[in-house]
Amino acid sequence: MVEAVGRRAGDGETGVGDRLRVLFAEGRPIVALMASGALIRILAPLLADKRTEPPVVAVAEDGSAVVPLLGGHHGANDLARTIAAKTQGFAAVTTAGDVAFGVALDAPPAGYCLENPQYAKAVMAALLAGEDATISGSAPWIDASAIPVSADGALRLTVSSAARPAQPNELLYRPQSLVLGLGAERGAPADEAIALAARVLAEAGVSPLSLAAVASLDVKADEAALHAVANHFGVPMRVFSAARLEAETPRLEQPSDVVFAEVGCHGVAEGAALAATGPGGRLRIAKRKAARVTAALGEAAAPVDPETIGRARGKLFVVGIGPGSEAWRSPEVSRMVARASDLVGYSLYLDLLGPLVSGKTRHDFDLGQEEARVRHAMELAGTGRTVALVCSGDAGIYAMATLVYELIDRGDLSDAARRIEIVNAPGISALQAAAARAGAPLGHDFCTISLSDLLTPLDDIQRRVRAAAEGDFVIAFYNPVSKKRRTQLAFARDTLLQHRPADTPVILAANLGRAGENVRIVPLEKLEVEDVDMLTVVIVGSSNSRTVRTGDGRCWAYTPRGYARKPGSGIDRGEGVGTPET
């Protein structure tokens, strides 16, 4: 995904610069609507290795000039040309190969891989000095270039999948036209699958760099051994339905009635290899077997685009965006949201993402639709899409992450939805935000209790309040009140007053990190239900917690790290204390 950055009126250079440097360090392609000189000064301290730097393009504010500054051979030149065509501007491409021959030899287009990129600079220099090249094999992008060609050229450009080393003065390009079809028993060993895959490629006499994808049956979308093979060769994994693989039966070399009875198609490895390489493809290597894995190699007539075959496993990012402000959203969460094709969540939470929602498909839900929200996200990911399930705070604390696993455990999802990849990202929880705003009340043992009886019986809630009171925990109360529920917080206050001093600090924090933020500290005996609403987090200190004022007059609450007690607390200083965390 390309990140577009522009300086708006009133923006400071520091904020824009910090954002650009973060994006660059993350390897994100950048299009910056700003002066080239300013962009160069911002990124200059980070420049190190041109082979790994992302594309960076500067665009004049009126679109008249589009300048690829970095990563010209990694997409910046093409990106600049695309933008210039839209703005009717001029793409200032300056890399020598593009200017002289209309091609970047060290960065072939999608579908091709250069075996020996370390020699590209020398070959390009020789071409620019007047040497000719001979072409072995065929690729449209080479055929369409202005590279000087002769039968006895000193240089050689070769397009081949054959497993051999590059020769002197040769650039060896690998067309990614091979697909490895795989089948496996559930729980097959990864090392066995990798070894079989390597053996099949060696038997075919082909370079692993010509591998475009690994393919299998859709019920194997979550098979760890098959993903291990894909990761080993650095290619994506794609899956097909049994019906699609069964359509390849006439072309199979080793059809099996046993396999058909088991999974609904006559061949998984061969069928997947043929389905992925298309009608013009063929079996380069028929099915080979290991103890618990099968493999076959398909070859297409042209490079295979994995995005156009079968479907991906599907991925669900379960993200907590914190209280809502960008400053309190982790970089990991921002990256996941940026990678997602679809965003699912409560409308307010999606709105809080601001510019990150641009270009995404939104799936908005109202409050009270939590299970429908999670189910929709998982089923959507089951179609092969990359979905972010967006929660406030931390997704695993009174939020949607638990429903993800509950739905899997209940078994009432589609097969595809149960096989998606799930990645959780932590967020700043309301209790952390409230504690930070108020001081350090969580400096020692604490617990959280939800006072909502929608999902938890009232007797259980009251039992937990009494236990936490007796255990002298700092307590963070979630869902303290609602329009109809006004008694649980009063019960908690009265119960706690039986176990800790009346002046125990209580933090009332509302709208944290958003407009209207309000944080107050009151003594426990002064806690009133009317002062709390549904957006308030209530943190009640332990008998150890106390307040302190700083020179600016601010009042802070904190809980000492050790069991050092106020005079008369009943527990001696240092009792039961281990080495404190630093």
Burial status of residue 197 (CB atoms within 10 A of its CB: 0-12, 13-18, 19 or more): buried
The two tokens of residue 128 are 């620019």
Do residues 423 and 334 share a domain?
Answer: yes
> Nearest-CA neighbor of 392 among 511, 484, 482, 483?
511
Determine, yes or no, domain membership for 576.
Answer: no
Do residues 185 and 161 share a domain?
Answer: no
Q: What is the pLDDT of residue 15?
A: 63
Q: What is the pLDDT of residue 223?
A: 97
Q: What is the pLDDT of residue 395?
A: 95
Do residues 405 and 441 share a domain?
Answer: no
CATH number at residue 302: 3.30.420.180
CA 260 centroid distance within chain: 36
**What is the C-alpha separation between 411 and 488, in angstroms, rounded?**
35
Tell which of 279, 308, 337 closes a domain: 308
The two tokens of residue 525 are 């005996």
Determine, yes or no, domain membership for 571.
Answer: no
Question: Is the pLDDT confidence value at 18 over 90?
Answer: no
What DSSP assignment string belongs to 270-287? Answer: HHHHHHHH-TT-EEEEEE
CA 566 centroid distance within chain: 48
Please state the φ and ψ torsions of residue 165, each to the nearest 5 degrees: -75, 155
Which is it for strands 439-440 and 386-391: parallel, antiparallel or unpaired? unpaired
Question: Is the pLDDT confidence value at 343 over 80?
Answer: yes
Determine, yes or no, domain membership for 414.
Answer: yes
Please state the φ and ψ torsions of residue 253, each to the nearest 5 degrees: -90, -25
User: What's the domain count of the chain?
Assistant: 5
Determine, yes or no, domain membership for 519.
Answer: yes
One-letter-per-residue 3-state SS of 455-485: CCCHHHHHHHHHHHHHHCCEEEEECCCCCCC
Tens digit of each residue's pLDDT (9 = 90 or more) over 370-393: 999 999 999 999 999 999 999 999
> Nearest-CA neighbor of 231 among 164, 180, 174, 183?
180
CATH number at residue 327: 3.40.1010.10
Determine, yes or no, domain membership for 39.
Answer: yes
Do residues 166 and 224 share a domain?
Answer: no
The two tokens of residue 187 are 């729980």
Question: Is the pLDDT confidence value at 356 over 90?
Answer: no
CA 154 centroid distance within chain: 46
Name which residue leads in pLDDT, 41 or 581. Answer: 41
Do residues 71 and 129 share a domain?
Answer: no
Tens digit of each residue's pLDDT (9 = 90 or more) over 468-509: 999 999 999 999 998 888 899 999 999 999 999 999 999 999
Do residues 419 and 445 share a domain?
Answer: no
Do residues 323 and 410 share a domain?
Answer: yes
Tell which of 175, 198, 216 closes a domain: 175
Tens digit of each residue's pLDDT (9 = 90 or more) over 414-454: 999 999 999 999 999 999 999 999 999 999 999 999 999 98
Determine, yes or no, domain membership for 80.
Answer: yes
**Structural domain containing residue 144:** 112-175
Which is it for strands 342-346 and 237-240: parallel, antiparallel or unpaired? unpaired
> Nearest-CA neighbor of 318 among 218, 209, 397, 411?
397
Strands of 30-33's sheet in order across: 3-6, 30-33, 56-59, 65-70, 90-91
Determine, yes or no, domain membership for 104.
Answer: no
Tens digit of each residue's pLDDT (9 = 90 or more) over 161-220: 999 999 989 999 999 999 999 999 999 999 999 999 999 999 999 999 999 999 999 999
Tens digit of each residue's pLDDT (9 = 90 or more) over 65-90: 888 888 766 678 878 888 988 898 88
Name the β-bridge partners of 102: none
Do residues 329 and 392 share a domain?
Answer: yes
Tens digit of each residue's pLDDT (9 = 90 or more) over 94-141: 765 666 677 778 888 899 999 999 888 889 889 888 899 999 999 998
Q: What does pLDDT average to over the chain? A: 89
Determine, yes or no, domain membership for 47.
Answer: yes
Tell which of 153, 175, 197 closes a domain: 175
Q: What is the pLDDT of residue 79?
A: 85
